[in-house]
Every structure is written in C-alpha cells, then in structure tokens.
Amino acid sequence: MGYELPALPYDYTALEPAISKSTLEFHHDKHHAGYVKKFNAAVEGTELDSKPIEDVIKAVAGDDSKTAIFNTGAQAWNHTFYWNSMKPNGGGTPTGELAQKIDADFGSFEKFKEAFKAAGTGQFGSGWAWLVLDNGTLKVTKTLNADNPLTKGQTPLLTMDVWEHAYYLDYQNQRGTYIDAFLDQVVNWEFAAENFAKAK
C-alpha cells in the first residue's frame, strides 16, 4: 500500500524569513522523503504494510527487532505533524479554549513559552519539543531522535523539530534563535486548537 510523502501545506517561500526556502526544500524533499522511502521499504511485504502509520509506530515501539521500522515511521509521521504545526504569518498567541487551558495548566502563556523553549534548547542532540495533552493536562515534553508522544499515551497538539537539519542552514548553532522565530513567526495555533478540540 505504501505511505505517501505529503506535500508541504504551503509554498517553499511561505515561512520566510523565519525558515528559508532552501531549508524547506532540503528538509522536506530530502530528509522527510528519505524517511518515507525507507519506512515503506521496511514494512513492504509484512503484516504492517496495510496498517495506518500511527498504528505501526505504536505497535513496534520498544521492539528492538523493529527499530528501523520505528525510526523511519516515527520520523515520517513527526515531520508531517511538524509541517502542520507551522503556517505563514503564524506566531502570536492562541485563542479560545486552548488559550484558557494553557493559562490554567502553565500559569500563563509566557510560562508555556519558557517551558517550550527550555524543552527545545535542553534536548541534547537530536529530537523534538512537543505540546501534548496527557490525561487531561497540557504538558511540554521533549523526545530524543524519532520518539514521539504517541508511544506514551499522550496526544500531541504541536511539535517543533530540533534536529540540526531543521535550522542549521538559517541559524547555524543558534538553536534558541530558531525557537524564538518558530514561536513568534510561524507556529500554527489553529492546528494546535483543532487537535485539542478533538482530544478533549
């Protein structure tokens, strides 16, 4: 059946200046496409071939014999979620019920931003920062390499890629500057709010 590489939900130049056209071309067309290709090759001809990618990720998590399937599948899924976590002219603050929930669970939107930036800058090496719903409570988490909240029973609402290939062409080693640009210029609060509404 095969998992198809989704197109970006916006043009390659749409997130500039926060994220450049060259970064999106390299990141989506090379890295993301590579994960999709390797995932499809890994599951081809197995019982996992016809299952939704989320089900495959959860089924093989923690199985050392299926590490390659998990890594490529989770990275394929994570990247699709990441593209949707951003939008042109994004940033700012959330509204409605999600905004109220952030205030209730973090104390304020500024405290959420501090926690999210700390997760992103504090992730040693490669990984992801997430806003998740965990047993009815909003939390900021971070995961290493390909791991994601689906394997922990959490519902992801938003993610930020902190692998170097996500920002190095634009920011070199200034990960914190990239995180500020993500939060202030491109984060897609409507996507997070939709995920929150479905998860409640």
Bind-site residues for Mn(2+): 27, 79, 161, 165
Integer angstrom CA distances of residue 138 from 21, 76, 90, 95: 32, 24, 21, 15
Does the N-terminal peptide bond of residue 94 adopt cis geometry, omega within 30 degrees of 0? no
Which segments of 44-108 does DSSP mark as H helices, in order?
53-60, 67-84, 96-106
Cα(128)–Cα(21) distance, integer angstroms: 21
Which amino acid is it at 196?
A: F
Number of C-alpha atoms within 13 angstroms, CB side, residue 124? 0
Query: Which residue in 167, 1, 189, 11 sits closest to 102, CA to CA?
Result: 189
Decide if 19 contacts 181 (C-beta within 8 A).
yes
